[in-house]
Every structure is written in C-alpha cells, then in structure tokens.
Amino acid sequence: MNDRFKHLSKLTGNTSRGFNKIAISAVAFTTLTFGIGVHTLADKAFKTVYYVYVDDQFVGTVSDKKVVENVVNSKVEKTENNLNSQLDLAVGPNLTYIPEQVFEVTSNTDDSKVAKKLDELLSIEAVAMEILIDKVPVYVKDEKAANEVIEALKLKYVTEDELKQIEAQQALDNKESLPPLKEGETRILDVRFSKEVSLSEGQTTPKQILTIEDAVDYITKGTLEEKKYKVKEGDVLGQIANDHDMTLEQLLTLNPSLQEDSLLKIGQELNVTFLQPLVEVVVEKEVFQKESIPYKNEVEEDSSMYKGDTLVKQEGEEGSKEVIYKVSEHNGVEIEKEMLKETILQEPTSHIVMKGTKVIPSRGDGSFAWPAVGGYISSKQGQRWGKLHKGIDIARPSERTIKASDNGIVKSAGWSGGYGNKVVINHQNGFETVYAHLSSIDVKVGQTVSKGMKIGVMGSTGNSTGVHLHFEIYKNGNLENPLNYLK
C-alpha cells in the first residue's frame, strides 16, 4: 500500500498569530467491507476511519481526524510558548492520513496509541532562511536577516562608504574608465566571499535559528563555543597543543600573552579552540603608493690603495617612484600583491666604495727609513744620566706623523710604563723596531704595515721631557744602534 502514498505532500497552510496552520494531507477512499454471515448490507452502518502515515511508515488507524490534528496543534502551541519571537512553523516529517468508509462492526481503531506514536515521530520545524556556505547551512529568521548577515561580514573589512563605492562602480558602463588614483588613495574593486554563498528558504528546528550577531560570529569563527583548557600539574605547552590537534605556533597565536618559554600555572586557562572560518571575505583593491628606490652598493678596486683600506668615492642616494598595486586580502590578511603601474620619479645614485688591492708585505727588506717627517736627532744612543739610552730621540719634525721604518707586523701597541704609548713592529726577518712616547696609536696588534705607513702621532707620554720620538732597533733580540741602519 505504501507506494500509493509517496505523492502526498508535506503539511502546509496558513495560520493566525503568525504561525502556519498545519493542515494534514488526506486521500479519500470509499470502501465497502462485506461480512460473512446472516447479516445483509442494509443491516450494516458505515463509519469513516483514517489510516495515518508518517512518510511511508504506517502508524495506525484513528476514528477521527481530530486525533491527528490535536497532536499537531499541541506540538505547535508548545513550540510557540518556547519561542521569544514569531516564526513560521511547519510539521515534519510528511504526515498523511487516508479516510476509508468501513462497516462500523469491522472498524479497528486505536486513537491513544496512534496519538502517542505521532507525538514521538513528529517534530515542529521553523521556516527560515538558509545561508548555505560550501554545503554548511546557517539559519536565520528571514531573507532580511540573511542579507544583514552578509553585509555585516563584509563590513568587518570594508567601510559602508567603500561598499557604496563598489556599487557605484558596478553601475558604471563597462566601457567607462574609472578616474585615476591620487597619491595615498585606495580604491576598493570588489568584495566577495572565498566560497559560494547562497540563500534559500528551508526548515529547521527553532533552536538552530541564529540571531544576526550569532550568525556572523559563527561564520567568522566556525564555532559559537570556544573551548578552554585548565593547566594541570606537569603540563607543557607543546603537549597541550598536541593533545588538541594543533601546532605550538597555533596555540601561541590563540594565547598572545604566552611565549614558548612561558611558565604555566596550575589552574591557568588557555584558549584551545583553533578557529576556522566557514568562509573568508575577499577584498580586492587598488593602492597608490609613493616608494623609495634603494641605491646600489658598488665596489671598485684600486691597486694604488693597500688591501683592507677603503674610501667612499660616491655617497649613495635613494630614488623615488609612484606605484599602483592590485592587492587581494582574505579576512584582512594580504594574500597577493600585483604591480599594475610604476612611474620613476628619480633614479637612485649608487654608493661607490674604493677598495684597495695592493698587498702589504709583512717581511721587511732590512733597510730602515726615517720614522718621522723631518726633525733632528736630539739624543743619541749611549750612556745618559747614569744609565743606557737604548735608542735615539728625534725632535722638532715638520709634522708629527710617525711612520713604520720597514714592512712588518705589529707585535704590540699600547701603554708601556716609562715608554708611554709604544708600538713594536716585528719585521719577520730577525729585526724589530720600537716607537715610544706617542700621543696616539693608529695600528693594532697583528696588523700588517708597510714601510712609510702611519702608525701613530709623536707625543710626550711616559717619562719624557718634551715632544719627541724615541726609536730603537733590535736584531735577533740584540739591541742595535739605529744610526747604523737608518737611511
């Protein structure tokens, strides 16, 4: 018998007080039931009974259709009393009853049993507007509410004026070009969703119908209930993240006050809900920016300069340009940036540095140059004031630069008691030279110096009676007379 009723429609109708009057589909059959015995057809009284079906399931037979209607009306009133706002209601699943005329003596009905079964099988659903996002439904009261949800989602990432701007642009003839952007200006090209979003009327339980605010929150976060985790003894961040199917980075993002090495306290609450929006708002826009163009750093080699020495030949200067970008953002995060137009306002000037390539020999040739710029010998090597004067003193130079007497490597450079500021150069051939009483030192230990290179400035530091250079020469550790070597 079931196949005969598959065409029967769902309960529909109009209502007072804002609710659908839920009617019941019925198919009328007139059936005469003949008994066997001495009774004739005329002796029999007829009675109408009703066969009740939920979808294709036979529920039972009732003596009066009001038995079914009373169950439906009772569930409607109960639902109405639990609602804070008016909703259009519908019954589900499909409820049908089929009248049949039978002899009264052969009727077999069970009103109470059918009523109880119907109360279990039937549910009262609300007619709502379904926002379908990639097969996930979100229900709100009506189409107006659905449109407000969609607008609220977009207004999270653009302003009302920008939405109006888009509408105005879309109203333009396609052949009509948009006005050029000005410096610092941004133009919204489009606001759309990352997935298909459609609206259609549907039915659901009243509890599933969300307010506009809750619907926006749910679509944005993917959930209405954020989970919290209370820290227990022995917990560490990495394990907490792993237990909740997320990475440590994701857990730290959800809890900005934490760092990877943060100390956890027992009972401390952590947010462990990794939000996944049902859909993202895609904003495409054009951006006009003025940007600097970095200068290039160039190095030119100079064989006349010693290796390790540098000299700035030309100072670098940044250039400038105007750029128009097409930017795509998903929920406010820049995903793609494409350059549409570039105008160079000023080319950059390269920063050029001269780099010396001349190698400084670390081994002296055994001949020693005068270590000062001019001057005369104010005191020779020998006994003086009751003790040995180990070197020569050079005074009254034309300028106070002190120079290396031969190629070598700086052995020491710094303060040395009565010598004051002193430099010792090892010439890598058995010879060493000493330069004392300097006012300042321009070399450091380990540095390779060439003959004639500046190593300091003449002064009067240490035990000195005036500005001069004290100069000594040693060969294989033995003191030599500088006058035998200087040229």
Q: Could you tell me where the beta strands, DSSP code E, fall in 205-317?
A: 228-230, 269-271, 281-293, 297-306, 310-314
> Could you say which residues of the chain have pLDDT below 70?
1-44, 81-86, 105-107, 172-177, 224-225
d(CA 66, CA 25): 13
Helix residue ranges, H only, 228-335: 237-243, 248-254
pTM recorded for the entire structure: 0.53
At 171 the three-state DSSP class reads helix
Measure Cα distances from 7 to 3, 64, 261, 484 in Å: 9, 23, 67, 128
Q: What is the model's pLDDT at position 105?
A: 58
Strands 25-26 and 95-103, sheet pairing: parallel
At 120 the three-state DSSP class reads helix
CA torsion 390-391-392-393 (nearest 10°) is -80
Measure Cα distances from 384 to 399, 436, 470 in Å: 27, 17, 14
Which residues does residue 338 pair with via DSSP β-bridges, in sequence order? 326
d(CA 452, CA 237): 65
Q: What is the model's pLDDT at position 177?
A: 66
Which residues does residue 291 pair with via DSSP β-bridges, in sequence order? 321
Q: Mean pLDDT over all residues of the chain?
A: 85
d(CA 68, CA 58): 14
Domains and CATH numbers, the chain: 2-121 (no CATH), 136-183+190-271 (3.10.350.10), 284-358 (2.20.230.10), 372-484 (2.70.70.10)
Q: What is the model's pLDDT at position 23?
A: 38
Q: What is the model's pLDDT at position 38?
A: 39
Q: What is the model's pLDDT at position 421?
A: 98
pLDDT tens, position by position, 129-183:
999 998 899 999 999 999 999 999 999 999 998 888 887 777 765 545 677 888 8
How many Å separate Cα 70 from the centre of its chain?
58
d(CA 136, CA 176): 39
In terms of Cβ atoms closer than 10 Å to its own Cβ (0-12, 13-18, 19+), residue 402 is: buried
pLDDT tens, position by position, 333-350:
899 999 999 999 999 999
pLDDT tens, position by position, 231-262:
999 999 999 999 888 889 888 988 989 998 88
d(CA 422, CA 436): 4
Angle between helices 143-154 and 212-221 (to 10 degrees): 50
d(CA 402, CA 449): 12
Q: What is the model's pLDDT at position 215?
A: 94
Closest CA to 236 of 214, 218, 220, 258: 258
